[in-house]
């Protein structure tokens, strides 16, 4: 009897239909630090240090693969939402104002720790001017106004960073230009994100990185039920090693092509992305990016990380690449 019970438990946990059955307790956190940058104006700022009124409650739903945020009730932050969101004071240069989040907003959640809030209406108030500014927040890649930002997925201890690019009009300078937002959260308790839907997997990353050019080929496998659309979705791609950005490119309007081949190249011809579809569930992505930064190596090796949002799906991969003796070239077959 004991053996049969144990076998039943093992089978149940192995069958996909038994996934998504363990409730995830709500978390509480505050976006702190919350940074604002306007690179075109050379201006940087931040919101005031978060207080009790700035805490957010996050409820996770593994059936819908979502995380729902709301202001946390002061007396019962994990169990209840407050009725209104508190404005958050910020300063950038000589300018000050407030940011107010909606009372509820929803993020798509993926196994591995990615959250993406598709359409967040962020209210920005400066003096007598107040407007609702749409922005996408993500732990992956966010693009807007010629800027490309990358967040950080939620880790084992519940810390993650959402990024976004807001493009308001009508606010005083320097906020009349694209604003890069970075919001870091320490979720307590840390959620078990492995129950959410799987992203596409990068099964092979190979290529060469020099200061002149980074050229990588990546084999991507979609999960069951996923269908990539390379034409209508933006194509965003970034390489980095730890905190060193290697190279990046963004095609906000997607790739051109049809059938099995899709392609885009920057106006200066220095960077390109090309997709060759092998099957309904697999494609090969070739990225050529120039110039590039060769990261420092340890023992003549560097772990190169890839983040891409191509075809409508965000995914991550990595490859340990070997350096030449001079440390000027990385390569992986």
Q: Are residues 185 and 229 in the same domain?
A: no
* Banded model confidence at residue 3, pLDDT cuts 50, 70, 90: very low
Cis before residue 33, ω within 30 degrees of 0?
yes
User: Which residues, 6 or more positions from 82, have their beta carbon under 8 angstroms from its beta carbon?
Assistant: 70, 71, 72, 73, 74
In-domain check, residue 13: no
Is 68 a member of any domain? yes
Q: Is residue 16, in this structure, part of any structural domain at all?
A: no
Name 3's Cβ contacts closer than 8 Å, sequence gap at least 6.
none
> Based on the domain organization, do 188 and 222 belong to the same domain?
no
pLDDT tens per residue across span 250-273: 999 999 999 999 999 999 999 999
DSSP 209: E
Residues 143 and 103 placed together within one structural domain of the fold: yes
Q: What integer best gives the mean pLDDT of the chain? A: 93
| 109 and 218 assigned to the same domain | no
- pLDDT at residue 6 in the model: 36
Q: Is pLDDT of 5 > 60? A: no
51 and 107 co-located in one domain = yes
Domain of 83, in residue numbers: 22-194
Q: How confident is the model at residue 21 (pLDDT cuts 50, 70, 90)?
A: low
Same domain? For 142 and 246 the reply is no
Q: Does residue 277 sit within a domain? A: yes
Say how far apart CA 296 and CA 313 lie, in whole Å: 30
Q: What is the pLDDT of residue 22?
A: 86
Structurally, how many domains does the chain consist of?
2
Q: The CATH number of the domain where 327 resides is what?
A: 2.60.40
Q: Are 99 and 124 in contact (CB under 8 A)?
A: yes
In this structure, are 134 and 37 located in the same domain?
Answer: yes
Write out pLDDT tens, residues 289-325.
Answer: 999 999 999 999 999 999 999 999 999 999 999 999 9
**Does residue 12 sit within a domain?**
no
Contact 30, 77 (CB under 8 A): no
Predicted local distance difference test score (pLDDT) of residue 169? 86
> Would you say residue 237 lies in a domain?
yes
> 26 Cβ partners below 8 Å, 6+ apart?
57, 58, 59, 60, 78, 79
Cα 5 from Cα 188, distance rounded (Å): 34
- The last residue of one of the domains, among 194, 217, 235, is 194
The answer to whether 308 and 285 are in contact (CB under 8 A) is yes
Domain boundary residue, one of 163, 194, 225: 194
Residues 205, 69 share a domain: no
97 and 230 together in one domain = no
117 in a domain, yes or no?
Answer: yes
Question: Based on the domain organization, do 80 and 118 belong to the same domain?
Answer: yes
Do 211 and 267 sit in the same domain of this protein? yes
Are 145 and 288 found together in one domain?
Answer: no
């Amino acid at each position: 009897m004991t053996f049969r019970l144990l076998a039943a438990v093992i089978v149940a946990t192995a069958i996909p239909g038994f996934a998504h059955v363990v409730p995830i307790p709500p978390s509480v956190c505050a976006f702190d630090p919350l940074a604002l940058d306007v690179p075109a104006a050379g201006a940087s700022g931040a919101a005031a240090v978060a207080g009790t009124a700035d805490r957010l409650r996050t409820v996770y739903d593994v059936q819908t693969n979502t995380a729902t945020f709301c202001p946390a009730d002061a007396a019962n932050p994990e169990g209840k939402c407050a009725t209104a969101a508190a404005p958050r004071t910020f300063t950038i240069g000589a300018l000050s104002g407030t940011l107010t989040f909606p009372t509820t907003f929803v993020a798509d959640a993926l196994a591995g720790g990615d959250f993406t809030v598709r359409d967040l209406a962020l209210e920005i108030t400066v003096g007598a001017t107040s407007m609702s500014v749409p922005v996408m927040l993500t732990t992956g890649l966010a693009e807007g106004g010629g800027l490309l930002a990358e967040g950080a997925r939620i880790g084992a201890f519940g810390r993650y960073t959402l990024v976004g690019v807001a493009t308001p009009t009508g606010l005083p300078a320097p906020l009349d230009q694209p604003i890069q937002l970075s919001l870091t959260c320490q979720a307590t308790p840390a959620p078990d994100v492995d129950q959410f839907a799987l992203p596409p997997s990068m099964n092979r990353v190979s290529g060469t990185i020099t200061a002149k050019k980074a050229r990588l080929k990546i084999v991507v496998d979609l999960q069951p039920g996923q269908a990539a659309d390379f034409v209508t979705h933006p194509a965003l791609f970034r390489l980095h090693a730890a905190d060193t950005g290697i190279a990046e490119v963004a095609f906000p309007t997607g790739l051109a092509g049809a059938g099995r081949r899709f392609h885009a190249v920057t106006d200066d011809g220095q960077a390109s992305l090309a997709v060759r579809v092998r099957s309904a569930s697999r494609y090969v992505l070739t990225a050529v990016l120039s110039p590039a930064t060769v990261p420092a190596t340890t023992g003549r090796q560097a772990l190169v990380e890839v983040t891409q949002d191509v075809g409508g799906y965000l995914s991550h991969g990595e490859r340990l690449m070997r350096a030449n003796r001079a440390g000027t070239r990385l390569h992986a077959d």
